[in-house]
Each structure stands twice: as structure tokens, then as C-alpha cells.
């Protein structure tokens, strides 16, 4: 009587998406491609084989029209009655097939046309049953199916009982003996089709949701890769550039020192290649101690005096939070080297006790006119660029925060010893991950874990 391979709901978008494959279309199991075919509910057929399967699934339910066909072949009606019966039955079947197979085309019927077809089916069922007899009562079952299949859920809950009531009135007039059985059959099948239509629509919505989730996951992976490549290659390429310039200046007078710089360039290049491979694989997670050592090398190569903390104490700090701080240090040092024009850079790592619990604070301060934030944003005092935007996202994912700005806005000198407003500071904070009691004697001002001052 209907098809479970169709989307029974008119949702205004042309019937549940085009014929293209999506991630939700492919459900692979032991049956392979067969499983993929079985879940293509509510979509136009992709080829003639699928068209044939859908047509057979719809047409097989027309076997319940055998009673009207046998009645027409019985010869009990006049020529005009038989001709009218054939015409009415042909129109009825055509309208029914058009309605239940509407999703096989690229566009769904408009709602007004669906209502018109159902009304026409009901009128034909009444007319043919009243004029040709009780053999035609089964047409009301198809009207009930059409209501449950094509109408929205709330409308179907009214239309199916309404069709059943109309059929009961007609049956009471032509053949009262069939009343109880036909009422039950029409009501049950109509509501069964309502449930089927809801199931199919839910399946389609789930498929679309899975496709959306797949797209969002792919987009998130692209953003992660973009952040990693920016942070990795920006730092490594800056260091390679500095060492290349240094090697060029040393080559005439100190070829042995120039050779050492070239060896360092090779080492940095190889490490950058490893880092990129790890980033592509999704396994890249830098450690703070490694980044501190790398910062010392990069700042020294740029001729920047570096004040760095000793081996950081990271007891109780989860690895992903340490990794976020390591990324922050790498980005900050890269911007100091590339953009700040600084002569001195101070890095500190402090554990502080706040109202929200213990936090680990990384501070990178330089005395240059460019500044880390301004450089990343494209100019002094500019907005956040790609690097700091990605860094902010990294820190927020682990519950942290990022602050950047000029040093000594209130007239106080910065930690680098330069005049107020002459340098830039980047501060990254993450939850320390230890209970408040474990902080012990840590006061609100902070207990320096390591400082370059």
C-alpha cells in the first residue's frame, strides 16, 4: 500500500536532498553495497536499477486492488458502469502512485497539491463504492494510507480517523456486514503508515545530521592543522632565517662558526619536518621544557638577551594544559624574534592562587617597539592575527586565557627595565590542576616557580 523507501514528509526542500552521496548514505557492513542501498530513504533513484526497486516496492501493494478488478471482469455491471469503473480506478491508482512516489523526483509536491490529491482519492473512493458496490470498499484503505504517508503528523492524526469515519458511513449504506473488519483495517493501516513516515523522516534527519557532524569535524581538523602549521613553521622558519643571515656574515672571517650555524640550520629543518609530520598525524604535543630550550636558542640567534626560568615545576598540571603553555611560549618568542625589535626578553612561569583555584601563568615580556601582539596583528597596537587567534583558541579549550598589551601603562617600568610603554607583554594562564589545599603556603600574589628577573 505504501513504500518504506520514500520520504513521506513534504518539507519544502525538494524531498530530502539530491541524489548525491553523502557520508550518511554509506552504511557498510557484511552486505557491502547492499547496506548502502537499503538506507537511501527519501531520495530520488540514482539509476534505473534503484528506480525499478522503488517501483516494485510501491507496485506490490496494489495487489489489494484485486477485488475491484475482479468486480469489473465479473460482468455484473452495465457497459457504462464498467467503463466508468475502469476510468475511476485508473485515475485513482494514478493519483495514488503519483502521491506515494513523489520523492522519486527531484522536487516534492507542494502542500496544496498533496491535499488536493488526497481529497480526490477520497471522493473517488466514495463515488465508486456507492455506485459499484461493496467490492470497492478497499479503496478507503489506500486513502487512509495516503493520509498517514503524505500529511504532517498532526494532520495525519485527524485525517486517518476522518477517512475511517467516512468509510464507515459508506459501508453502512452498501454492506453493513463489512463494517467492523474494514473500520479496523483502515484505522490500523493508516496509523501504521503514519508511524512508518515518522521513522523514515527521522532516518533522513539522522543522515543529514551525520553529514553535518562529518563536515564540522573536518573543518575542526583543518583549523587544528592550520594552527599547528602556523606555530610550527613560523618559529622554525624564523630561526632558519636568522641562522642563515648569521652564517652569511660569519663565513668570510669565521668559516668554522659559519659551518656550525649551517649545521644548526640542518638540525632545525629536520626537526621542523618531524613536527609537521606529527601535526598532520594529530600527535604533536610540545613540552614546556623543550620550548624553553628552543626559546633560548632562537633569542640568542636573534641577538636578544634572554632571561628564562629554570626547569619548570609542573606537578599536577595535565599534559594538554602544559602543551597549551608551550604553544604560547613558542608563538610569543617567534613574534619577539620576527617583529618586536627587542634587545631583551624576559620569560617567567608563576603559579598563582585565584578565586577560581590555582593557575599557572606564563609571561613573555620584551622591550621592543613592535611588540608581540602588534606584530601578530600586522602592526603595533593592531588586533590579534592568525597566530594569537589560534593561540587564544588553544588556551580556551583547556580553560585558560590570553592577555597581551603594552608594558608599564601606569608609568611603571616593565620587567625588562625599559621605560614605561616601551615594550610588550604576553600572558597565558591555564588552570594548574591541583586542589587548593595542595597550594600550601601559596599566597594570592603568587609563588614564583621560575623567573628570569
User: What pLDDT, in 10s, does the model give residues 289-303?
Assistant: 888 888 888 888 888
Question: Of 119-128, 326-335, 343-352, 385-394, which range is least confident?
Answer: 385-394
- Is the pLDDT reported for residue 241 higher than 70? yes
pLDDT digits (tens, 9 = 90+) for 173-217: 877 777 777 888 888 888 888 888 788 778 878 878 887 887 887
Which of the pair, 234 or 125, is modelled with greater confidence?
125
Which segment, 174-178, 239-243, 326-330, 379-383, is predicted with the most confidence on average? Answer: 326-330
What is the distance of C-alpha 102 from the center of its chain? 30
Percent of the chain with pLDDT over 90: 12
Q: What does the mean pLDDT of the chain come to? A: 75
Which of the pair, 64 or 161, is modelled with greater confidence?
161
**DSSP character for 61?**
G
- Is the pLDDT reported for residue 334 higher than 90? no
Mean per-residue pLDDT, 205-232: 76
Plot region of 371 (φ>0 → left; ψ -120 to 50 → alpha; else → beta): left
Contact residues for 355 (Cβ-Cβ < 8 A; gap 6+): none
**What's the confidence (pLDDT) of residue 108?**
65
**What's the confidence (pLDDT) of residue 379?**
37
pTM of the model: 0.46
Contact residues for 186 (Cβ-Cβ < 8 A; gap 6+): 140, 141, 144, 160, 163, 164, 167
- Is the pLDDT reported for residue 77 higher than 80? yes
- Is the pLDDT reported for residue 251 higher than 80? yes
Mean per-residue pLDDT, 332-351: 87
**What's the confidence (pLDDT) of residue 315?**
76
Cα angle 413, 415, 417 (rounded to 5 degrees) comes to 55
Residue 60 contacts residue 52 (beta carbons within 8 Å): no
Residue 223: how many other CB atoms lie within 10 Å: 12
The residues with which 357 forms a beta bridge, in sequence order, are 354
What is the distance of C-alpha 116 from the center of its chain? 39
Dist. CA 384–CA 117, nearest whole Å: 60
**What's the confidence (pLDDT) of residue 406?**
83
Which segment, 16-25, 86-95, 237-246, 337-346, is predicted with the most confidence on average? Answer: 86-95
Dist. CA 124–CA 438, nearest whole Å: 82
E-assigned strands of 233-356?
305-307, 344-354
Helix (H, G, I), strand (E, B) or coil at 428: strand
Question: Which three cell numbers mark 257?
Answer: 662558526
Question: Of 199-213, 293-307, 317-331, 332-346, which range is least confident?
Answer: 199-213
pLDDT digits (tens, 9 = 90+) for 410-451: 434 445 455 445 688 999 999 986 544 444 444 434 444 444
**What's the confidence (pLDDT) of residue 289?**
85
Domain parsing of the chain, residue ranges: 23-214, 289-453
- Is the pLDDT reported for residue 119 higher than 90? yes
**What's the confidence (pLDDT) of residue 103?**
52
Dist. CA 101–CA 110, nearest whole Å: 14
Dist. CA 360–CA 318, nearest whole Å: 11
Dist. CA 389–CA 430, nearest whole Å: 16
Question: Of 187-196, 222-231, 232-241, 323-332, which range is least confident?
Answer: 222-231
- Is the pLDDT reported for residue 370 higher than 70? no
The highest-level CATH class for domain 289-453 is: alpha beta
φ, ψ dihedrals at 146, nearest 5°: -60, -40
Dist. CA 144–CA 137, nearest whole Å: 12
Residue 322 contacts residue 283 (beta carbons within 8 Å): no
pLDDT digits (tens, 9 = 90+) for 391-402: 888 898 888 999
Residue 159 contacts residue 117 (beta carbons within 8 Å): no
Amino acid at each position: 500500500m505504501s513504500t518504506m523507501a520514500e520520504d513521506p514528509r513534504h518539507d519544502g526542500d525538494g524531498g530530502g536532498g539530491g541524489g548525491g552521496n553523502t557520508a550518511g548514505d554509506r552504511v557498510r557492513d557484511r552486505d557491502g553495497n547492499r547496506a548502502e542501498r537499503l538506507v537511501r530513504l527519501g531520495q530520488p533513484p540514482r539509476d534505473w536499477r534503484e528506480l525499478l526497486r522503488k517501483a516494485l516496492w510501491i507496485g506490490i501493494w496494489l495487489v489489494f486492488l484485486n477485488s475491484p478488478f475482479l468486480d469489473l471482469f465479473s460482468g455484473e455491471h452495465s457497459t457504462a458502469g464498467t467503463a466508468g469503473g475502469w476510468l475511476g480506478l485508473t485515475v485513482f491508482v494514478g493519483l495514488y502512485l503519483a502521491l506515494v512516489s513523489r520523492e522519486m523526483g527531484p522536487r516534492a509536491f507542494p502542500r496544496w497539491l498533496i491535499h488536493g490529491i488526497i481529497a480526490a482519492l477520497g471522493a473517488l473512493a466514495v463515488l465508486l463504492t456507492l455506485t459499484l458496490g461493496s467490492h470497492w470498499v478497499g479503496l478507503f484503505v489506500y486513502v487512509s494510507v495516503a493520509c498517514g504517508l503524505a500529511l504532517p503528523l498532526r494532520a495525519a492524526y485527524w485525517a486517518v480517523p476522518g477517512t475511517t469515519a467516512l468509510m464507515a458511513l459508506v459501508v453502512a449504506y452498501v454492506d453493513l456486514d463489512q463494517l467492523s473488519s474494514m473500520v479496523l483495517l483502515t484505522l490500523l493501516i493508516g496509523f501504521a503508515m503514519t508511524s512508518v513516515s515518522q521513522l523514515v523522516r527521522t532516518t533522513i534527519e539522522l543522515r543529514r545530521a551525520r553529514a553535518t557532524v562529518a563536515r564540522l569535524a573536518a573543518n575542526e581538523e583543518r583549523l587544528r592543522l592550520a594552527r599547528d602549521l602556523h606555530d610550527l613553521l613560523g618559529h622554525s622558519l624564523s630561526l632558519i632565517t636568522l641562522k642563515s643571515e648569521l652564517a652569511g656574515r660569519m663565513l668570510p672571517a669565521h668559516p668554522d662558526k659559519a659551518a656550525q650555524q649551517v649545521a644548526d640550520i640542518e638540525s632545525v629543518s629536520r626537526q621542523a619536518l618531524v613536527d609537521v609530520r606529527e601535526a598532520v598525524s594529530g600527535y604533536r604535543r610540545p613540552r614546556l621544557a623543550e620550548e624553553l630550550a628552543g626559546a633560548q636558542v632562537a633569542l640568542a640567534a636573534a641577538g636578544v638577551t634572554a632571561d628564562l626560568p629554570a626547569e619548570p615545576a609542573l606537578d599536577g598540571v595535565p599534559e594538554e594544559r602544559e602543551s597549551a603553555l608551550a604553544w604560547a611560549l613558542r608563538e610569543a618568542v617567534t613574534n619577539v624574534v620576527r617583529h618586536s625589535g627587542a634587545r631583551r626578553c624576559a620569560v617567567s612561569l608563576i603559579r598563582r592562587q585565584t578565586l577560581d583555584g590555582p593557575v599557572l601563568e606564563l609571561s613573555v615580556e620584551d622591550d621592543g617597539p613592535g611588540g608581540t601582539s602588534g606584530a601578530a596583528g600586522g602592526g603595533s597596537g593592531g588586533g590579534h592575527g592568525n597566530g594569537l587567534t589560534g593561540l587564544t583558541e588553544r588556551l580556551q579549550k583547556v580553560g585558560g586565557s590570553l592577555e597581551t598589551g603594552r608594558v608599564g601603562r601606569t608609568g611603571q617600568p616593565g620587567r625588562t627595565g625599559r621605560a614605561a610603554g616601551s615594550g610588550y607583554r604576553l600572558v597565558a594562564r591555564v588552570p594548574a590542576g591541583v586542589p587548593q589545599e595542595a597550594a600550601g603556603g601559596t599566597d594570592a600574589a603568587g609563588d614564583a616557580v621560575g623567573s628570569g628577573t
